[in-house]
Amino acid sequence: MLLTTRCRTIAIVFWLCAFVTIPIWTRTDQAGYDIVFYHNAITSLRAGHDPYLDAIQRQQTFHQTLAQHPDAYPPCSYVYSPITLPLLRLIGLLPEGLAYTLYWLILVAGVFAVLWVTTSAREQTERTFITLVAPLAAFCPGLLAHDTILSGNVAFILYALILLGAAYGWRHGIWRWCYLAIFIASCFKPPLLTLLAIPLFSSRRPWLPVGATAALGLGVFAIQSRLLPTLFLHFLQAVQLQFTYNHDFGSSPAGIFSDLLVHYGRSYMPASVVFYMLYAAVIVGLLFHLSRQYLAGRLTLQQWMPVLLIGAILLNPRIMEYDAAPLAIPMALVAWRFFTRHGVTARAVITYLGAFLLANLIAVNLHDAWKPTECLLLTTIFSTGVWSLLQQAEAAIPLARIDRTEALEEPNPDQDLVPA
């Protein structure tokens, strides 16, 4: 009881530290800087303008006058497809202060929903550990310090919907809400269709609903070029400028590879696509094999969930900071289980903390080191998680054989009641 009380006290201190950092973050980066892009798009729609053209013009003007403000943060375009514009029009009908407040309340609820789902992957013996590391989800997405929550990106809401749907699926075996959430998310961010890996590798015979959801998501994206050809063309141009000007390819292996190609003056297409297809095939193969072990009962959901979530998000070709945010707890759990696989010793705990602090020191203090460090963390922790699950599944096979043998040899309690 004393240990539990101390851990709760420390956890409260950690949460207070997380909230204290908010005014520090706002001194370096404007809170809600992603919301600014949404607000600009709503303003354009209210004026009867094309929000993509307005954003493109804003970017071009900024870069043409870059010499006047070399240290300014470059503007970004609204880069969600035209199918999302009716929602922006609806939000634009609300008073600005009310819309702003409601959005932040929903976003914060999404953050806690993600935290609730991911912490459910803890084992019984990991309650103390989870109590201490839960604040990581607030200010260390992907285990690296970043002001992701304050960006206000809609990704937190989308991931909350998907993970809540997944939690319902894991608990009740009904996945329709997860499919619906993934489809809705794909209307904003088509790469989130890769999260279909969650139901695909968590249920039996999911091929038809997974294929239907993927086809519907891709079909809705593609048909916009016919239904809204001008808006869709400008949307694609805005997306292209996002990469041309900002070179923000994300933290995925494909993103880091693309960034290297651009850095050395090479085109990132099609080499990055080929590279992505190669490692994505490996990830899918590993997840498929491990899912067979999970469905056979050799792995528990608590063992399987963290590795599955990391692998599913690794399939996203462009992993941004807000994509890594839902992985804070899963990555912490997988790393903790690896370091303490021989027992929770002082050496294991110190090594775990040392690795965490070293990664953050590198990411925060070295220029442009955040994304490559995050990529290294993601791939390393996923690899160690896969290795650990393979070991656990192999160890569970002889135990299952013993259980079956004992069941066959167990005497029939009704045997003496059968007449000779």
> Taking the CA atoms of the chain, what radius of gyration do you get in angstroms?
24
Q: Which residues contact 400 (CB under 8 A, 6 or more apart)?
A: 297, 298
> What per-residue confidence (pLDDT) applies to 203?
92
Residue spans of the domains in the chain: they are 26-59+75-119+154-246, 248-396
- According to the model, what pLDDT value does residue 73 have? 66
The structure's pTM equals 0.89
Mean pLDDT by 10 residues, the chain (420 residues): 61 68 55 81 92 88 69 76 95 93 93 93 88 78 82 92 97 96 96 97 93 97 95 91 79 93 86 95 97 95 97 95 92 94 89 89 87 95 97 77 47 40
Q: Is the peptide bond before 270 cis (omega within 30 degrees of 0)?
A: yes
Q: Provide the pLDDT for residue 420.
A: 34
Q: What pLDDT does residue 31 have?
A: 59
Where does residue 283 rank: exposed (0-12), middle (13-18), buried (19+ CB within 10 A)? buried
Residue 27's pLDDT is 47
> What is the spatial distance between Cα 396 and Cα 194, in angstroms, rounded to a whole number?
30
- Shortest CA distance to 396 belongs to which of 327, 304, 330? 304
Q: Annotate 90-109 with b (16+ C-beta within 10 A) or e (fewer).
A: ebbeeeeeebbeebeeebee
